[in-house]
Chain A
Amino acid sequence: MQDFQIKKNPKAYDVAIVGSGAGGGMAAYVLANAGIKVVLLEAGPLYDPAKNVTQLKWPWESPRRGASSPYRHFGDFDAAYGGWELEGEPYTQKDGTKFDWFRSRMVGGRTNHWGRISLRFGPKDFKHRSIDGLGDDWPIGYEDVAPYYDKVDRLIGVFGSEEKMANEPDGIFLPPPKPRLHELFIKNAGTQLGIPVIPSRLSILTKPLPGNDKRGKCFFCSQCNRGCTVYGDFSSSSVLVKPAIATGNVDIIPNAMVRQVLTNEEGKATGLSFVNKEDMQEYEVSAKIVMLAASACESARLLLNSKSSRNPNGLANGSNIVGKYLHDSTGAGMGGILPKLVGRKRYNEDGVGGMHVYTPWWLDNKKLDFPRGYHIEYYGGMGMPGYGFGSGMQHTNGKYPGRNGEQKKAGGYGASLKDDYRYFYGATFGMSGRGEAIAREDNYCEIDPNVVDKFGIPVLRFHYKWSDYEIKQAKHMKETFEEIIEKAGGVVTWGKSGPENNYGLETPGRIIHEVGTTRMGNDPKKSAVNKFNQAHECDNLFVVDGGPFVSQADKNPTWTILALSMRASEYIIDQLKKQNI
């Protein structure tokens, strides 16, 4: 017998899905519930937040007290495995530019740790070229997606408040939690500055979700990023993949690293080839329809690696557009101390996981020197201590009078220092801006012809530069943050920066909202997929992650990935019924 052979799965599936995050989980859920036979390939292990528990654990249960590790970049308690670097899975950079690529290979993918910030794109977000002449309009508008946002709200649950803001569409909301103390100060500061500070919109069940007895409601431990044992928040693992499998219509293959989409002579997708990371053997699975939801960059990589004599440029890439128009949200932050909060009374301030209030974009870009907006996320208060607690006390305890009203020398040791940690606990706060970058053709990922990963799969090479638009936006963020901190009665302690570091603008990829690599459009020469996420050049191939986004908006992408994946899945059901695919 030969040493190397490819094992073919004899079962014929209707649909093969690559990736089990927001896009893949939603597709599996919708299709399986319609009786369609699905095989779901996931590049990482099985994961269920009720079984793989870090929630309600104490810092000392981690020997590094929750610090980041090579296998969990967001810390030892974070639900998401992985990070910006994975062992044996490199990527490269081009022309001295930099893009950091976060990968979480596990069931549920990056939905396991995200901030649950669940914002709808607004009418302007789909048609921004018509407003400012930059980027491109989507081939669909808010009215096309709105019914799916509604369905996603009902299926998954999101809290928020009706605000009737033009470009921040209201959803079908559960009631929001009341603001915390520092959030009240921020809200009051915002009111004085003309900056809206409204209840956040997070996919967390503050009330039981009507019609769903499989999920418990939130018990306010503030740990959504650890995964919720009662499924009180949204992660694809608990809310979509688990019930999809329960239908009996989904076979899930974990640790399946997909190499390429298989095609036949007519150019149709016939299935997938993958390596099983457990036994390192080669496998193939066949299906009538293939859906890619491996993440914007991984799906682009798959298409580019799916070369054939018919598709020398990669699959669905006659336009040469796959990998291009890559864009991540912009990000910048600042923090401070609220001197009025020193020595504060203790009470359980955990609340939900993340902020109770946020600031949606509130200004008119026509009156500003940058074209797109940003939203602001807030944090602070009496959180559970973890790695890094008390760091840099010498920068604080010499600046403010101590408990007895006397000024101390900075730094120190002993009982007096020990008391300083108690005294300043819960008095710091901070904020992060998350803005829209312009999608540009020259920000892209492509296949590095010289490098393969440990599975022998050619890797991605990135080329990404911020433009003046994003840098000016970051400058505006920083000016705004400083105003808010000071108006709230705070003092800035970190995050002031200038042109020397692009006003603290984060490296692209750091915000983990990357989209755009297989963008949708009506013109097959300028887009990879059509308005139903269906490849122009291969009608039984769909991409349902962030790849098809034409523009990112000043919102988090997850809710729109979910809505578009649901929409594409319903389209597939309809097309299968009509025998069009």
Chain B
Amino acid sequence: MDRRKYLKTLAVTSLGTGVMLQSCGPETKTETQAAAPTFTIDRTKEELVREQKLLADKFFDEHEMKTITVLVDIIIPKDEVSGSATDAGVPQFIEFIAKDMPRYQTQLRGGLKWLDLQSMKQYNTDFASCTAEQQISIVDEIAFPEEAKPEMQAGVAFFNTMRDLTACGFFTSQIGIKDLGYVGNQPNQWDGVPADVLAQYGVAYDQRTLDISVKHDA
């Protein structure tokens, strides 16, 4: 087989497959029977049945989704490099994870409730309805685990989970991978650490390693 030909084929078939997640959000659910989800990755029959059920279900209500949307953009906002968590579809990702991994459900739902109660206590309205300054003021009390007051511990634990889910959802999205500068997942010819990087860290390949390691055709 011509190696170049198959590498090319692989490269082409792996493009244009990044839109699947957009069909995963609860907003695509309609009154009619949801169409079977299509996947660009191998799925067994049993997996397809489960995915279809998960995608058709809805866990968070509208208010909860609104709060999640505010929170994830506080955690990962748009900056000079890339877009925000909501730009990257993080709320929809969190909705899916809550359905896929039920262990998250109580913690997330309860944490959102905790957050609204804090907001009510301090500002007499729910978190999503607070001003941006008020929201940040509440987040400041739960976003720094080593400084947070003991009575805020439940909020800290919730925020740690939200930080993890937001970072995961963001940096595994198309926007996030580009932001991170991950340049793999494509056909390559690994020929060792680049020379400038070896020099930067003061390391080198010994002669034996150079002698025995695979050499690539030009």
Contact = CB atoms under 8 A, between A and B. Distances in A.
A382 B45 CA distance: 33
A388 B168 contact: yes
Interface string A391-416: 11110001000000000011111110
B144 A63 contact: no
B133 interface: no
A325 interface: no
A346 B77 contact: no
Contact of A213 (B1, B74, B76, B183): B1
Q: Output the residue of A59, A179, A217, A392 with the most chain B CB within 10 A.
A: A59
A58 B17 contact: yes
Contacts of A180: 193
B116 interface: no
Given A415-B77, A421-B171, A348 B17 contact: no
Contacts of A175: 212-215
B214 A221 contact: no
Interface string B185-218: 1111111111011001101010001101111000
Contact of B172 (A59, A72, A340, A393): A59
Nearest to B19: A60
Given A176-B213, A411-B145, A421 B177 contact: no
Given A175-B213, A350-B190, A409 B146 contact: yes
A417 to B, nearest CB: 7
B44 A81 contact: yes
Given A61-B39, A65-B168, A409-B144, A219 B187 contact: yes
A386 B77 CA distance: 20
Contacts of A181: 193, 197, 201, 203
A422 B193 CA distance: 20
B41 A418 contact: no
Contact of A391 (B167, B182, B186): B167
B179 interface: yes
Q: Output the residue of B21, B51, B205, B213 with the most chain A CB within 10 A.
A: B213
B143 A63 contact: no
B41 A63 contact: no
A446 interface: no
B33 to A, nearest CB: 20
A422 B80 CA distance: 14
Q: Output the residue of B50, B144, B172, B176 with the most chain A CB within 10 A.
A: B172
B75 interface: yes
Interface stretch (B94-102, B107-115, B122-130): B94-102
Interface residues of B, number: 83
A71 B172 contact: no
A532 to B, nearest CB: 36
Q: Output the residue of A72, A411, A419 with the most chain B CB within 10 A.
A: A411
A194 to B, nearest CB: 17
Interface string A172-185: 00111111110011
Interface stretch (A48-56, A433-441, A497-505): A48-56
Given A60-B172, A184-B193, A345-B197, A394 B163 contact: yes
A104 to B, nearest CB: 12
A384 interface: yes
A481 interface: no
A45 B44 contact: yes
B181 interface: yes
Contacts of B143: 411-413
Contact of B41 (A77, A87, A414): A77
A389 B3 CA distance: 33
B190 A178 contact: yes
Given A181-B197, A221-B184, A389 B74 contact: no
Contacts of B145: 394, 410-411
Contacts of A391: 164, 167-168
Contacts of B7: 219
A216 B1 contact: yes
Contacts of A207: 214
B20 interface: yes
A222 B184 contact: yes
B65 to A, nearest CB: 16
Contacts of A76: 41
A88 B157 CA distance: 36
A414 B188 contact: no
Contact of A394 (B41, B101, B160, B168): B160
A199 interface: yes
Interface in A207-264: 207, 213, 216-217, 219-223, 229-230
A57 interface: yes
B6 A184 contact: no
Nearest to B174: A60
A223 B188 CA distance: 12
A175 B194 CA distance: 19
Contacts of A72: 47
B80 to A, nearest CB: 9
Interface in A434-466: none
19 contacts: A57-B40, A58-B18, A60-B89, A60-B172, A69-B50, A179-B205, A185-B203, A216-B1, A219-B10, A220-B189, A221-B185, A222-B184, A344-B197, A348-B190, A384-B177, A389-B168, A410-B144, A414-B74, A421-B171
In the A-B complex, list the 5 residue pairs whose CB atoms are closest, starting with the nearest. A390-B167, A178-B192, A59-B172, A350-B184, A346-B181
Given A178-B205, A230-B10, 16 more contacts: A61-B40, A63-B20, A70-B50, A178-B190, A179-B192, A179-B205, A185-B201, A199-B212, A221-B188, A348-B183, A348-B184, A350-B184, A390-B167, A398-B146, A411-B143, A414-B74
